[in-house]
Amino acid sequence: MELCDLSAHELALLLRQRRISAVEVLESSLKRIAAVDGRPGTLDSAPLDAEDRAKVHSFITLTAERARAQAEAVDRKFAAGEDPGPLAGVPFTVKDIFCVEGTPSTAGSRILANFRAPYTATPVARMEAAGAVMLGKVNLDEFTYGSSNESSAFQPSPRNPWKLDRVPGGSSGGSATSVAAGEAPLSLGTDTAGSIRQPAAFCGVVGMKPTYGRVSRYGLIAFASSLDCPGPVARNVLDAALMMNVIAGADPHDSTAARVAVPDYIAALEQGVKGLRIGLSPDYFRITYPNLQTGKFEIQPLPPQIEAAVRRAADLLAKQGAEIIEGVPMPNTRFGIPAFFVISRVEAASNLHRFDGVKYGYRTPAPMTDLREMYRRSRGQGFGAQPKLRILMGMYVSAAQYSEQYYNRALQVRTLIRQDFDRVFDPKGPYRLNALLTPTTPTTAFKMGALYGDSVLMQYADQLTVPANHAGVPGISLPGSLDGEGLPIGIQLLGADYSEDVLLRIGRAYEDATEMDVWRKVLPQALA
């Protein structure tokens, strides 16, 4: 086993004991990246060849020299008897939607290809202040608009380490692949409709969406400001807790960052699940898909292997003392995607107005005498198809003549989804749940190109994750098993506001119960 295959908490312990150095850890990660990653995503990339199809392609920008300087600084502090922080020497990657001073911050878009951020996002700054070593910026769907990571302007886009012809999920695909392929034990991603949890499920790693406001959004290039949540992608629950201890908390730079006390997430892990009430909802065991021929919605059951993984998890938790509550109603879950289509597009259209080719980013090289023409051409050439679709739809549904029909109704649906969660988590209500146990995704990782270009069907990959974003509640995806093709199955825990500690606690109990399962010993294709 190489150093890069160790978890974050294992590395942190060995580093603190001075049995290894931060530079040695970094070199191991860089060696793994060189072996499995291939060429980074670039604009106007050459067509894929056989070698490209056999590589993971997590990165847009590898910051090896910056990382080396950070690792050397950690080693010097240890040598001087100083404490560099709880993540000292541990490598991590950053989804390229976060600003990092002096580095390209592209959002996966041509329009920001040349933008170098003048400041660093709070979650990244907190990771570095804790001694973590930033390896670089990883790929994503353009402006986070997608569920497969195929929409990035920087190609080749990431490929799933478990089967290299499958998508890694999105939009935090590069975060999930960098962790799953052993390039880094930790990654910082964002979740707007499931963009941490869905790729975590597809790639067999742990991904947490915190409560909205638990982690600062300062320095995050916004998609939908009322839905975006930064959070950790990690190898296991303990590593996710370690990262949450570092990044969570109020921030004077972000008025939406909650001024709520942050518990010690690691301390809560060993408390077990005895006495906890964990719910199963039939509304999370069926999927509502639009029939594009009839225009009607059709209800379909989950694949049996996915439902079986969730029910086995419930059985294992019950054996440890949890009380499993069947039949929990979440009737508005199926409306999460239609509401998201409207709300997210309106917010995206608003946020994208700032990219006009004037202050920073791409500007058309064509000579222009008319300012409006310069705007149109710069935006037309700089934005890919997905941002354009969201701008057009967002402007349409928010127009005065349509806002009541679409946008206001979507906000009402969002309120109903929130009420579903309030009812089941109410400590004085009929269910009194501590957590809801569900599948993370309706399928395992699909083939690259299978859904790309179909915005509707692609979005429905997030049907089981998006309700938590509407409600603002926390969720975590855990590896649950492998399907018949050897692809990871994700299981999801959802909780009340600021109950990340409870979700991590349940997740750790599930990990302990499945520690010896054969599927946990299987390596991804990229590492086999």
Catalytic annotation, residues: 95, 171, 195
The span from the CA of 7 to the CA of 310, in Å, is: 25
DSSP three-state, residue 431: coil
Q: Tell which phi-psi region holds residue 255, choosing left (phi > 0), alpha (psi between -120 and 50) or beta.
A: alpha
The span from the CA of 334 to the CA of 245, in Å, is: 33
Phi (first) and psi of residue 499, to 5 degrees: -105, 30
Find, among 325, 359, 348, 431, the residue nearest to 115 by Cα.
359
Length of the chain counted residue by residue: 528
Q: Which residue has the tokens 């190898």?
A: 235
Find, among 493, 450, 1, 502, the residue nearest to 201 by Cα.
493
DSSP three-state, residue 327: coil
Phi (first) and psi of residue 479, to 5 degrees: -60, 125
Find, among 445, 432, 394, the residue nearest to 223 by Cα.
394
Question: Token digits for 490?
Answer: 């994700």
Strands 488-494 and 475-482, sheet pairing: antiparallel
The residues near 262 (Cβ < 8 Å, ≥ 6 apart) are 214, 245, 248, 249
Cβ neighbourhood burial of 81 (10 Å; 0-12, 13-18, 19+): exposed
What DSSP line would sit under 355-368, residue for residue? -SSSSSS----S--
Contacts 24+ apart (CB under 8 A), 361-368: 361/111, 361/112, 361/113, 361/114, 361/115, 362/110, 362/111, 362/112, 362/113, 362/114
For residue 231, which amino acid is it?
A: G
Cα torsion through 221, 227, 231, 233, rounded to 10: -100
The span from the CA of 520 to the CA of 511, in Å, is: 10
Find, among 469, 431, 445, the residue nearest to 329 by Cα.
431
The span from the CA of 383 to the CA of 109, in Å, is: 7
Please, are residues 426 and 388 in contact by the beta-carbon 8 Å criterion? no
Question: Token digits for 117?
Answer: 């951020």
The residues near 255 (Cβ < 8 Å, ≥ 6 apart) are none
